[in-house]
Amino acid sequence: MQPFEYTANPGRVVFGSGSIKKLPDEIKRLNKSKPLLLSTPQQEEQVRALEPILKDASITPAGLFSEATMHTPTHITDKALAYTKECGADCVVSFGGGSTIGLGKAISIQTGLEHVCIPTTYAGSEMTPILGETAEGKKTTRSDPKILPGTVIYDVDFTMTLPEALSATSGVNAIAHAVEALYARANNPIMTLFALEGTKALAEALPIIVNHPHDTDARSKAQYGAWLCAMCLGSVGMALHHKLCHTLGGSFNLPHAETHTIVLPHAIAYNAPKIPEVMKQLAGLLPGSDGDAIKGLNVLLAKLKVKRGLQEFGMKEEDVDKAAEIAVSNPYWNPREIEKGPLRETIRRCWAGEDAKADL
């Protein structure tokens, strides 16, 4: 066995249907009493449902900030920070997906406030010490153990109304975390176990959810898988897939989960020649792969009925060259050397919505 290093990220997880009722106990466990509630505009009504749960336990929210948006733009964070100070909050409760949790992280790292997450998607940001922020059209990321939320409440009840399309893309986003962990430079046997189990759970659950969105068992399995996949993202470095998604999302304002969904099979195809063992492991987890992981990913995305082309989300063909330039301008580790020609063709295929092929 190869030598490795493993650092367990601290964090408390409360998992199960109805676990939202434990939110007051978790806030009291932190010796806090004035939480700031965070959400996107679309989830403001849902997050307000937390107020009576808190008030029944003699906890009055300091306020509600419902302007979280994708890619965590710094001007929104600045506005939220001013509101946090104004209302006198002593902790932050983020309710939603990656956009809201990202805002919670930004507030927490800048103020030192405790951060409790209630994820309603499968994106996984709640399990990572990573913060991605956008300023002037450019997205940058940083990692710091202090960014990691202290407590996460996984209540499947809040995922039951997640639209089928968003369930699919959010779940594939989670799979992307696990797949890249399998060949990450800092991989270790523990992360491999998490990655394989998480990918398997999601690959089984997501097709059921798309066709039977109120299947509680499938929803619970997907949330479990997303948690494990997110643990991978928070513990080992990522490579081409995530770097490319950050470039595309931050530079062209493309939706986060949908971009990850489109890019994943193409990024794996690009790296395939250098990760044969990972390709075997992945193929074994994907129904319909016939021993070919790339085929398995293409089959999975077809089952999930997701959009396959970045052009469907507003990216223009002339943006392909710009994206390639940005992606190669900031060198980073990847199992296969980043070559501009093949990378440009990879991005073009993502733009066009073609099936992935390992022929570059």
Residue 10 scores a pLDDT above 80: no
Summarize the confidence of residues 216-222 as an average pLDDT.
97
pLDDT range class, residue 234, cuts 50, 70, 90 = confident
Summarize the confidence of residues 74-95 as an average pLDDT.
97
Q: Sign (positive/negative) of CA torsion 28, 225, 182, 347? A: negative
Residue ranges of the alpha helices (H) in 130-255?
164-182, 189-211, 216-233, 240-252
pLDDT range class, residue 143, cuts 50, 70, 90 = confident
Q: Which pairs count as long-range contacts for 266-269, CB under 8 Å and 24+ apart, including other chains? A: 266/346, 266/349, 266/350, 266/356, 267/240, 267/241, 267/346, 268/179, 268/241, 268/293, 268/294, 268/297, 268/356, 269/294, 269/346, 269/356, 269/357, 269/358, 269/359, 269/360
The model's pTM is 0.89
Residue 310 scores a pLDDT above 80: yes
What is the average pLDDT score of the chain?
94
pLDDT of residue 314: 96
pLDDT range class, residue 339, cuts 50, 70, 90 = very high
Residue 331 scores a pLDDT above 80: no
Give me the CATH code for the 12-159 domain, please: 3.40.50.1970
Percent of residues, the chain, with pLDDT higher than 70: 100
Q: Where are the beta strands (DSSP E) in the chain?
A: 12-15, 35-38, 63-65, 91-96, 114-119, 130-135, 138-143, 151-154
Residue 32 scores a pLDDT above 90: yes
Percent of residues, the chain, with pLDDT higher than 90: 84
Instruction: Return the CATH fold of 164-352.
Output: Dehydroquinate synthase-like, alpha domain (1.20.1090)
Could you tell me which of 242, 360, 248, 251 has the C-alpha nearest to residue 309? 248
pLDDT range class, residue 5, cuts 50, 70, 90 = confident
Summarize the confidence of residues 85-97 as an average pLDDT.
97
Q: Residue 183: is it exposed, middle or buried by C-beta count within 10 angstroms (0-12/13-18/19+)?
A: buried
pLDDT tens per residue across span 159-208: 999 999 999 999 999 999 999 999 998 889 999 999 999 999 999 999 99
pLDDT of residue 23: 98
pLDDT of residue 136: 83
Domain borders along the chain are 12-159, 164-352
